[in-house]
Each structure stands twice: as C-alpha cells, then as structure tokens.
Amino acid sequence: MPDYDVLISVAKQARENAHAKFSNFKVGAALHTPSGKIFGGCNVENATYGLTICAERVAIFKAISEGERRFDAIAVVTDTDTLTPPCGACRQLIWEFCGDVPVILSNLKGKTETISMRTLFPKPFDSSNL
C-alpha cells in the first residue's frame, strides 16, 4: 500500500518544475509502482496549447520509458481551492496503463480526496472494446 503523504509530496515537488507560463496553472503528479518506485511529472505548456502535456501523462510516460508496467496509485496536486481531477485524455491513459487505481487529489493547503479511477472514469474505452 503506497504512502499517500509521500506520493503527494513528490507530486508537489514535481509541480515546482511545471512550465506553465501561458496559463500559470502548475500541476504535479506522482505515480506509484507496487515495488515502491515513484515517478513524478509536471505539466509542460507551449504557445499552441495543443502540444501541451499534462503532469499525469508525463509521470506515466516516464515510468513506462523506465520499464515499469504496473502501478497502484497516482496523486495530482494543484494550487486551487477546489481539487482538480485529471482531464479526459489523462483519465484515458491512467485507465489504460494503471487500471482502477486510487487517484489522490490534493492542493497546496493540504486538502485531499481519494477517488477510484472507476468512479472517476465509469465507462472507459480500452482494449476490451476492440
């Protein structure tokens, strides 16, 4: 079972590296593996927005590129009063690569909420639909 406080801390640290000079909306994410490894990610924007990548996808792609294939939790941290869930594209990738993991939402004030991926993404499209 991952330590959610540690996962949130890594996501907060990753958030500090965000490149969000257009929206100023910095996001950090941290992905936990069953072996205890944690992969952080931050959002990286560009002027076209269409090529921007979210923190959750950065964390997933880093982990996959390092050979990891199993995950048991992901944390997402923003500096908002209302906790911010992953966008639709991130929900799709979290489902495909992580399955029904706990998604820990947090802000810089210490507010947290944990929600299952199945609750957040109730009718996913995946390889079973092909």
Among candidate residues 56, 66, 68, 113, the one labeled active-site is 56
Residue with tokens 């996959």: 64
First CA to last CA across the chain, in angstroms? Answer: 32
Condensed to tens digits (0 to 9), the pLDDT of residues 8-33 reads 999 999 999 999 999 999 999 999 99
81 — phi, psi (to 5°)?
A: -70, -40
**Does 111 score more than 80 pLDDT?**
yes
Q: Which CATH superfamily, name and number, covers 4-123?
A: Cytidine Deaminase, domain 2 (3.40.140.10)
Check if 56 is active-site: yes
Condensed to tens digits (0 to 9), the pLDDT of residues 51-93 reads 999 999 999 999 999 999 999 999 999 999 999 999 999 999 9
What pLDDT score does 122 carry?
Answer: 95
